[in-house]
Amino acid sequence: MKQVFGLVLVGLSLAGCAQLSQQNQSDKPEMGSSGQIRPMARPQGGGASVKPPATARTVEQLDTTTVAEKNAAETAARKAQKSGQGKLLGRTVASLGDPTDPGIWIKTPLVSKPSKGRVVYPVSGKAVQLDLIPLDGPATAGSRMSLAALRVIEAPLTELPEVDVYIE
């Protein structure tokens, strides 16, 4: 029963986040100087991180990171792990960050400036290379991870997994 309640609560939270995101986005196409409608610009980064549609409700709809991007992030992390690359910053409790914020990232108080790094989930042994984004608060505070990153390391989305954070 607790699991069903937890899943319902997460579903409602995700739906609310998507509605808030919809209110903050302008989906109007740009008009060119000749009066023609121009396509909307993709986000920076080669179009790799695309915001989910405002109607997204499921994990699959919210996670717009491609399989190729996830595989590349996992492969790079595994390679860095095997070579002993990176410095362990510490262990943190990771909750699901904004599911409408695309990409593979962790917002953590363990860094003071944006960096590249990796996260290892000791339970599954899986690792993912990601962006380390500073989060205000003491180093003992928790972190927020992207939906895509949590899926790559096979961490439960409805729990608070502990992960090891490395900086490159």
Return the CATH number at 59: 2.40.40.10
- Report angle CA 58, 59, 60 to the nearest 5 degrees: 90
**How many residues are present in the chain?**
168
| Confidence band of 167 (pLDDT split at 50, 70, 90) | very high
Q: What is the mean pLDDT of the chain?
A: 80
Segment 114-120 mean pLDDT: 97
55-91 pLDDT tens trace: 888 888 899 899 999 999 999 999 998 898 999 999 9
Segment 26-34 mean pLDDT: 44
Residue-number span of the structural domain to which 140 is assigned: 1-168
What are the tokens at 129?
A: 């290379």
Q: What is the pLDDT of residue 57?
A: 86
Furthest CA-CA distance within the chain = 60
Instruction: Find out whether 92 and 108 touch, Cβ atoms under 8 Å.
Output: yes
Which has more confidence, 119 or 26?
Answer: 119
Whether 14 has a pLDDT exceeding 60, the answer reads: no
Parallel, antiparallel or unpaired: strands 105-108 and 143-145: antiparallel
Half-sphere exposure of 71 (CA within 13 A, CB side): 3
Segment 41-64 mean pLDDT: 70
Cβ neighbors of 28 (< 8 A, separation 6 or more) are none
Strands (E), the chain: 30-31, 37-38, 87-96, 105-108, 115-121, 126-134, 143-145, 162-167
pTM surpassing 0.85?
Answer: no
| Confidence band of 105 (pLDDT split at 50, 70, 90) | very high
Q: What is the pLDDT of residue 4?
A: 43
Look at the chain and report how many structural domains it folds into.
1
